Amino acid sequence: MPEFDYTTGAGLYAGKKFRGSSGPRYRRFETAAEAVRFAIEDMPGSQLRGSVLEVDETRFDDRQIRMLYDAPEYPLKRRDE
């Protein structure tokens, strides 16, 4: 994956839940790092599938969001650290 700027603002489009659809489907974050952390640590797995992170008109699917979170360059403390 090319170099990624975790400090840029980002939008997160949540995937659909299997049962019902409560809560917002779009959320804006001040930084892409915060959006990635929210997607991985706070969203249920069923909602993460199908989610899209948009940063500077580039879109990342749920697998790419996971790769960004797992990357050594990820700047925030992970929940399991």
Task: Tell me how many helices (H) and strands (E) the chain has.
Answer: 3, 4
* Per-residue confidence band for 80, with pLDDT thresholds at 50, 70 and 90: confident
Instruction: Indicate if the pLDDT at residue 3 is higher than 70.
Output: yes
- Residue 75: closest CA among 5, 9, 1: 5
Strand 52-55 relative to strand 26-29, pairing:
unpaired
Question: Would you say the pTM of this structure is higher than 0.85?
Answer: yes
Residue 23's pLDDT is 58
Query: Residue 41: phi, psi to the nearest 5?
Result: -90, -25
